[in-house]
Amino acid sequence: MEDLATYEELIARIIEEAKKLQHLFWSKEELQQLQRDIDSLEERLLHLSWATLSNLEWYKDEGWKKLFDRENDLRC
């Protein structure tokens, strides 16, 4: 019986300590907000990569070298 009381006391202390750590973990709502933020960032990055590729293709098709007055002149 003494062992059982010791285990119960130990379990009670573990539960008490675990409750003190709850503020360190994200709630379900916080996780959902984080997922929305990640989805939004992913969407913006996808759009940015598409726009970059589109611009590069336009420069290639338009002969981007013709945009410069002379060789090695980077002024537009």
SS3 call for 63: coil
State the DSSP string of 37-56: HHHHHHHHHHHHHHHHHHHH
Torsion of CA 42, 43, 45, 47, to 10 degrees: 160
Answer with the residue of higher pLDDT: 66 or 12: 12
Q: Judge whether 26 and 34 are in contact, CB under 8 Å.
A: yes
Q: How confident is the model at residue 74 (pLDDT cuts 50, 70, 90)?
A: low
Condensed to tens digits (0 to 9), the pLDDT of residues 10-28 reads: 999 999 999 999 889 999 9
